A and B are shown apart, each in its own frame.
Chain A
Amino acid sequence: MAEPVQETLPQPVARKRSVAQGSPSLWYKDAVIYQLHVRAFCDSNNDGIGDFPGLTQKLDYLQDLGIDAIWLMPFFPSPLRDDGYDISDYNAVHPSYGNLDDFKTFLAAAHNRGIRVIVELVLNHTSDQHQWFQEARSSRDNCRRDWYVWSDTDDRYKDARIIFLDTELSNWAWDPVSKSYYWHRFFSHQPDLNYDNPAVFEAMWGVMKFWLDIGVDGFRLDAVPYLVERDGTNCENLPETHAIIKELRRRLDDEYPEKMLLAEANQWPADVSQYFGNGDEFHMAFHFPLMPRIFMAVRLEDRKPIIEILEQTPPIPDTAQWCIFLRNHDELTLEMVTDVERDYMYDEYAKDKSMRINLGIRRRLAPMMDNDRRRIQLLNVLLMSMPGTPIIYYGDEIGMGDNIYLGDRNGVRTPMQWNGGWNAGFSGADPERLYSPLISNPVYGYQGINVEAQKRVPHSLLSWMKRLINVRKSTKVFSRGSIEFLRPANHRVLAYVRQFGDEKILVVNNLSSSAQAVELDLHQHKGNIPIEMSGRNLFPRIGELPYLLTLGPYESYGFRLRQL
């Protein structure tokens, strides 16, 4: 939104200083979530790898930023062949990141600052190094044999697509130990668990209880559509999978109220919405198709992709919420777009083939926006003002760059840039020892793009993000309100009215690189006075005539509409 005048900033909303029992339910709807990998955030013991003590040291920064919850990427013991999504022990902490006590210390410190913690859990598969799989493959007679999906042939479930097209030729892999095929929807070193076996479900519920008893506030459950396989189907979103989720939710509500389940289901909205059930499955789910369309709309300078996908999004139960994001640790997925749209995205955002992986683009927000501050801000305004709970990927709040020459998705998983000093303040280790090279190029390098530098400047991206988060949290309209799109003739302007109870907010965004005039039909809000949310300036009262606004390139306004 427009750069606010410093003196007229709204005062920060009084924050709860701890996460206590009895805090309001539906907290996840009002939250701003910050996604990070402990490995990438801060290294306390100078071994070149981030850890929980380091993360704990940085909680003040996150509290100051204004976020409400941290989503931790997998931190469990793992051979790390898929960045921790190949878990070999669910009930421990990877030794590189500390130990269980370090985690508990971090969790308590986060809760003391009013920050909840969501942990990642991979239900669908384990690492092939997990004890369960080692036992299962050791003998066809082993009691854990049936914990995975085995077959003597590789021709079952032929209708299931291969997800990692760049690396996998089949969803079956040959196990030379037990001389049979095992099923895997992702990498071949990630065998799928067999949820037809009740013992698997109980084991995974046991894992969840373990972490819930420690005090985590929710789970981001990875790859949920693929839990169950059936012949003659595409093995996604099956009723049996939903039954498993319902049972997990039932137990969660019974034993751990206030805890939250977030679904990772990269599907079309109509399919994902099934995972909300009747309010008895997931609390939240990612809205995957919206994200690429936000990028598309800005490049097209046309609101159509955003409105189109949100119009295709079915209503969800009152207690449910979409999770929305701009970038995350994975590639910017282009699975939920048409071929035409995918080609366009590749051409516009990933001309260099090394920017592409699987069906997506492995780049961070700032480089995708050509480091254009106005566009970065516009996208963040959209993120914060659209229906759903926003997730900020670590480093995007300062405009960190990426390194497309690192393998896999590692180019967007580089160390957090805290200052312009030794290893960007991330670690005291020798630079060569870091788990990943720092971003050091002249445009995005840590010497210029870092937290310390931006904290000193009131108009830095970081300072602006803090104000934006503050505006977002100043009302429940953004987190819980309805949305009504206005359709001015100027297609480069995306305008909508969010409403929750009597409170109404008008958001107007110029998606184009040039100044725009727009006439908004606001006759339904006749008599209201628009009050710009950043600077609290009054605008002329809304009357019968179309409301004329002019917006600079990529400019946004948020107006409270007040009937006074």
Chain B
Amino acid sequence: MAEDSFLTDDLLRQLISVGEVDLLVGVPSRNNADTIGHTVEAIEESFQHAFPRQRVVIVNVDCGSNDGTIDLFLNSSGRKNASSRGITSLRTEHRVVARYENATQATVLRTIAATGDLLRARACAVVSAATSNLTADWVGNLLQPVYRQDFDFVAPLYARQRFDGLLARLVLYPITRAVFGKRIREIQSGEFGFSGRLATNCTTSDMWREPSIQDLPQACMTVTAIASGYRCCQSYLGPRLRPVAAQTPDIVTAVRQAVGALFWCVNAYEDYWMGHSANDTVPSFGPDHELTDDPVTVNLERLFELFRSGVAELSPLLKTILAPDTYAEVQRLAACDERKLCFENMLWARTVYDFAASYHHTLLNRDHLVQALVPLYRGKTYSFFLQHAASTAADIEADSENLCLEFEKQRVHFMERWKSQTEVST
């Protein structure tokens, strides 16, 4: 049966004119009129300074913008030809647009990967049109390791506020490191780089139809790169500014999308990680990720209350998901004095692993299952804030390392739970 085509004829017509390229940068957008001009400018500046000889294209995959984003993308002047005698790209810098009305992020990313595949790009990068502080160096740092050093996947490293990115710090990174055996800190970022080889591999994958990854598919590319043996690295970009509130998903959505996608990957790549116990660092370019001390406001009281009420409300469900001793310990935490709550690393690792194993076994709606992790994540976050209210960046890093070690230590527990035939009843 013929498969529905996700690439439009209009896009194909544009690609025919572009022809083979060396470098491709994909820019997903939706109503990013405020920032897309800056994005194009930064990308073209990168081309002109770092890749003046290469054949290049910028691919804007737009999801129904109605604020003129596409026009701005196509017509922004960039910095090209600032001086006829200065540095400029030797070649035509192409811009093409793929227009979708309601595409998921999976379709967006698949379109970029497929474009890289069709144009035989050697190095591709994805940058977010919403990132207001994108610079030419960011683009270069994502493309260079692939183009010049033959890496296949480049994860970003950022300078973050020390309480920013906790979902990555407390869940995504420890799992990636412990289960898949690669110390890649940012697996769900809006910015990353990949090779044409990986693009080809991913384009033909079945993963794009999976509902769990439709909103945050980046982790799947990361895990595909790891599990398929591609060369991975990390590259420092710069400070990651917190997106404005309107563009930030609430915590429930964030956990459902990010953790759900990662759990799906754990499930899909079972064969890989079951037989693969190594734990490798990956090469990093530029400084390591950094923590900053910018002020942050957190309503701790509310956070704790949401933890306690969530545990209470979801108690029957949690009882089926968690191992009995883990469940009992969680109940004890929910009942304790909020000033003394300490969500120990071992307990947190076992909790997350129990959820991942249940995701594997469950007949329960997986979205609901993942959402049941939210109150516990709030408890861990609350505990993290209490513990590190006065910590230095080094203290936080040390604690994160301990957490990862605990995840690695509890991997045995996880595999036991994974292999058990217990199914969670609805």
Q: Which residues of A contact B (CB under 8 A)?
A: 268, 296, 300, 302-305, 308, 312, 338-341, 344, 488-492, 512, 517-518
Contacts and interface: CB of A to CB of B under 8 A. Distances in A.
A312 B84 CA distance: 8
Contacts of A488: 17
Interface in B38-89: 52-53, 55, 81, 84-89
Nearest to A488: B17
Interface string B163-207: 000000000000000000000000000000000000000000000
Given A303-B92, A308-B81, A491-B94, A338 B14 contact: no
A53 B8 CA distance: 69
Contact of B19 (A296, A338, A490): A490
A233 B85 CA distance: 20
B77 to A, nearest CB: 15
A304 B85 CA distance: 14
- Range for the number of chain B residues in contact with chain A: 10 to 19
A1 B90 CA distance: 26
B19 A304 contact: no
B91 interface: yes
B84 A491 contact: no
B17 A491 contact: yes
12 contacts: A268-B84, A300-B90, A304-B89, A338-B88, A340-B52, A340-B53, A340-B88, A344-B52, A344-B53, A490-B16, A491-B19, A491-B94
Contacts of B92: 302-304, 491
Contacts of B91: 300, 302, 304, 491
Nearest to A489: B17
Contacts of B87: 338-340
Given A308-B81, A312-B84, A344-B53, A302 B17 contact: no
A490 B94 CA distance: 10
A492 B19 CA distance: 9
Nearest to B92: A491
Contacts of A268: 84-85
Contacts of A304: 89-92
B17 A338 contact: no
A304 B94 CA distance: 11
Given A488-B17, A491-B17, A344 B85 contact: no
Contacts of A518: 17
A489 B14 contact: yes
Contacts of B90: 296, 300, 302, 304-305, 340-341, 344
B92 to A, nearest CB: 4
Interface string B121-155: 00000000000000000000000000000000000
Given A300-B91, A303-B92, 13 more contacts: A296-B90, A302-B55, A304-B90, A304-B92, A338-B87, A340-B52, A344-B52, A344-B90, A488-B17, A490-B17, A491-B17, A491-B94, A518-B17
Describe B's contact surface by its main secondary structure: loop
Contacts of B84: 268, 308, 312
Given A300-B90, A302-B90, A491-B91, A338 B53 contact: no
Contact of A338 (B16, B85, B94): B85
Between A308, A312, A518, the greatest number of chain B beta carbons within 10 A of the residue's beta carbon is seen for A308
A234 B89 CA distance: 29
Contacts of A489: 14, 17-18
Contacts of A303: 92
A292 to B, nearest CB: 11
Q: Quick one: which of B17, B18, B55 has the most chain A CB within 10 A?
A: B17
Contacts of A490: 16-17, 19
B150 to A, nearest CB: 20
A166 B91 CA distance: 31
A514 to B, nearest CB: 8
A304 B90 CA distance: 7
Contacts of A341: 90
Closest 9 CB pairs of A and B: A489-B17, A491-B92, A490-B17, A302-B91, A340-B52, A304-B92, A312-B84, A302-B92, A300-B91
B44 to A, nearest CB: 13
Nearest to B96: A489
A95 B55 CA distance: 54
Contacts of B16: 490, 517
A303 B14 CA distance: 17
A49 B90 CA distance: 43
Nearest to B86: A338
A489 B85 CA distance: 25
Contacts of B94: 491
A313 B351 CA distance: 70
B225 to A, nearest CB: 31
A49 to B, nearest CB: 42
Interface in B364-389: none
A268 B55 CA distance: 26
Contacts of B85: 268, 338
A492 B92 CA distance: 9
A339 B53 CA distance: 12
A305 B88 CA distance: 10
Interface string B1-41: 00000000000001011110000000000000000000000
A193 B84 CA distance: 34
A490 B52 CA distance: 19
Nearest to B93: A304
Contacts of A512: 19
A309 to B, nearest CB: 8
A341 B83 CA distance: 14
Among B16, B18, B84, B94, chain A packs the most CB atoms within 10 A around the CB of B84
Nearest to B91: A302
Nearest to B17: A489
A410 B90 CA distance: 31
A255 to B, nearest CB: 40
Contacts of A300: 53, 90-91
A521 to B, nearest CB: 13
A133 to B, nearest CB: 36
Nearest to B94: A491
Contacts of B88: 338, 340
Contacts of B55: 302
A63 B123 CA distance: 54
Nearest to B81: A308
B52 to A, nearest CB: 5
B210 to A, nearest CB: 35
A564 B18 CA distance: 35
